[in-house]
Structure 1
Amino acid sequence: MPLFQLLLVALIQGLTEFLPVSSSGHLILLPGLTGLQDQGQLIDVAVHVGTLGAVVVYFWRDVRVGLLGLPRLLRGKADTPGAQLALGLIIATIPVIVAGAFLHFTGLSDAMRSVAVIGWTMLIFGIVLYWADQSGASDRTAADWSARDALVMGLWQAVSLIPGTSRSGITITGARRLGYGREDAARLAMLMSIPTILASGVLLGAEVALDANTTAMRDGAIAAAFAFFAALLALTLMMRLLRSISFTPYVIYRIALGIVLLVYAYGGSAAQVAG
């Protein structure tokens, strides 16, 4: 794959994975709107590994706490902050794994990869994010995260399997509805991405690893490195901006892009019918 396309795919994935604008939606749109060849599952897995590395580095203190609490949780005790965090992340990941496996093995995930679907989800869930952000309370912090809240946010996260929804956007929406402040909502959403990206990476990676050759592995490594730095930059900027602004700029972008995509999707269909 040309270096330019690897860089483009990595930048799109890295910059949009943790912003509430849907990285998967942008990656699906890339070949459809530009005429470039589809990057394939190997590159998809690689850029997700890159973004996984970025969130682990940025939230290393929280990740370390969760890892240290995991052995205690495995002994059946969730009486420390680390064990409670690990339990919450496990609970929050179960819905998306179950739903993801169902969509993947039934082929429904491919059926939803269309410009029209992405246009509608961009628009609708952008409005939902605005509603949740403006109407939600801000009196809870990440320290208040309970098993119940983890399950609720996990169910919201499962909706992100519809292309264009945005995993981070929909989990932030769920957190804001539960009363978490903007920074803490984003923090929980980012931490939830770690086991989710890891699970999807294992699922997809197992399918492509046996077919990968040296050139493909090299391309994947390059894409992963670019995605890592792009994601780290996007994550740093978003978390800093949330101290002074709301999610409204992202909502405006989603709504504008959604309208453009719907015009493109249905305008093209109408033109074909008329022709």
Structure 2
Amino acid sequence: MGWVQTIVLSIIQGLTEFLPISSSGHLRIISELFWGADAGASFTAVIQLGTEAAVLVFFAKEIWQIITGWIAGLLNKEKRGREYKMGWMIIVGTIPVVVLGVLGKDLIRESLRNMWITATVLVLFSFVFILAEKMGKKDRGYEELNMKDAIVMGLAQCLALIPGVSRSGGTISAGLFLGLNREVAAKFSFLLAIPAVLGSGLYSLPDAFAPQAGQAATGMQLTVGTLVAFVVGYISIAWLMKFVANNSFSWFAAYRIPAGLLVMLLLALGYLTP
């Protein structure tokens, strides 16, 4: 992998990780279109550490309260408050994607990265956004989050294993269907992703240097890429949290559908290799 490719893909990762347009799908498409090769699931997983670091910084206060509240609740039953419950919701909600991620490792890194799948999912899942916006009541706040929400959004997070779906898109849509307002759905989506993405990145680190599928990257490239993804990702979170306050997620569907159709056209004409 060259340096230009590393920087470009890292910027794209930072821009698209939190927007419901699929960072893995965009990395797959851009890498194939301009460099004629798949950067690989391992490279993607590692530079996602940068965007998750952005989440840790952006929501540092809430994350610290959840961690300390969870630990306090474990040690003392009388201190099992909202933060303690939130800690368990994130843990339980993470279990499905961890199990599927480990069991389906080879499928995720090879077969599911077919460009026809990515393009098709970009289009089809866009209608899930639209339905979620139309059907969701969006009247439940952060204090109303419960274990059912965590489990459903955790199951939805599994869809992100398919490039083109979008981790945030899947979990936020699930949250909207459950009646959560946009800001709450987005915030919990980001918090829920932290254990899974950090675990996936660390688990994939050795494979990024000598992947079975995809391109190899040097340690310096992975380090710089992760830092770039962090900076751009932080800016993206700040923008999205302001955007969702007053705007529908259907706007992202308006981007995803033409993008998916364009990729299909390029595949059909032979400009892209599946």
TM over 0.5: yes
Offset, 1:160: 1.5
Report what 1:35 is aligned to: 35
Alignment of 1:182-193 (within 5 A): 182-193=182-193
Offset, 1:218: 1.3
SS at match of 1:139: coil
Offset, 1:141: 1.2
Residues 11-48 of structure 1: per-residue CA shift (max 9 Å, x gap): 11000000000000111112221125544566434421
What is the Cα-based RMSD across aligned positions, in Å? 2.3
Cα 1:174–1:41 change in 2 (3 A) is closer
Contact 1:73 1:86 in 2 (8 A): no
Offset, 1:103: 1.2
Runs of 4+ off more than 6 Å: none
SS at match of 1:243: helix
Report what 1:83 is aligned to: 84
SS at match of 1:138: coil
What is the letter of the counterpart of residue 60 of structure 1? A
Offset, 1:170: 0.4
Report what 1:265 is aligned to: 267
* Structure 1 range deviating more: 42-51 or 161-170: 42-51
1:19 aligns with 2:6: no
- Rounded to whole Å, the distance in 2 between the matches of 1:260 and 1:118 is 12
Contact 2:51 2:229 in 1 (8 A): yes
Contact 1:73 1:87 in 2 (8 A): no
> Identity rate of aligned residues, in percent?
31
Offset, 1:263: 2.4
* Structure 1 range deviating more: 242-251 or 29-38: 29-38
SS at match of 2:161: coil
- Rounded to whole Å, the distance in 1 between the matches of 2:26 and 2:109 is 15
Contact 2:49 2:226 in 1 (8 A): yes
- Rounded to whole Å, the distance in 2 between the matches of 1:38 and 1:112 is 12
Alignment of 1:104-119 (within 5 A): 104=105, 106-119=106-119
Contact 1:51 1:232 in 2 (8 A): yes
What is the letter of the counterpart of residue 103 of structure 1? G
Offset, 1:208: 4.6
- Rounded to whole Å, the distance in 2 between the matches of 1:55 and 1:3 is 25
- Rounded to whole Å, the distance in 2 between the matches of 1:143 and 1:193 is 19
Offset, 1:67: 1.1
**Alignment: residue pair count:** 266
- Rounded to whole Å, the distance in 1 between the matches of 2:113 and 2:96 is 21
TM-score under structure 1 length normalisation: 0.89
- Rounded to whole Å, the distance in 1 between the matches of 2:242 and 2:162 is 28
What is the letter of the counterpart of residue 59 of structure 1? F
- Rounded to whole Å, the distance in 1 between the matches of 2:195 and 2:76 is 20
Report what 2:232 is aligned to: 230
TM-score under structure 2 length normalisation: 0.89
- Rounded to whole Å, the distance in 2 between the matches of 1:210 and 1:115 is 22
SS at match of 1:160: helix
In structure 1, stretches of 5+ residues that fail to align are none
Offset, 1:188: 0.8
* Match for residue 250 of structure 1 among 252, 255, 266: 252
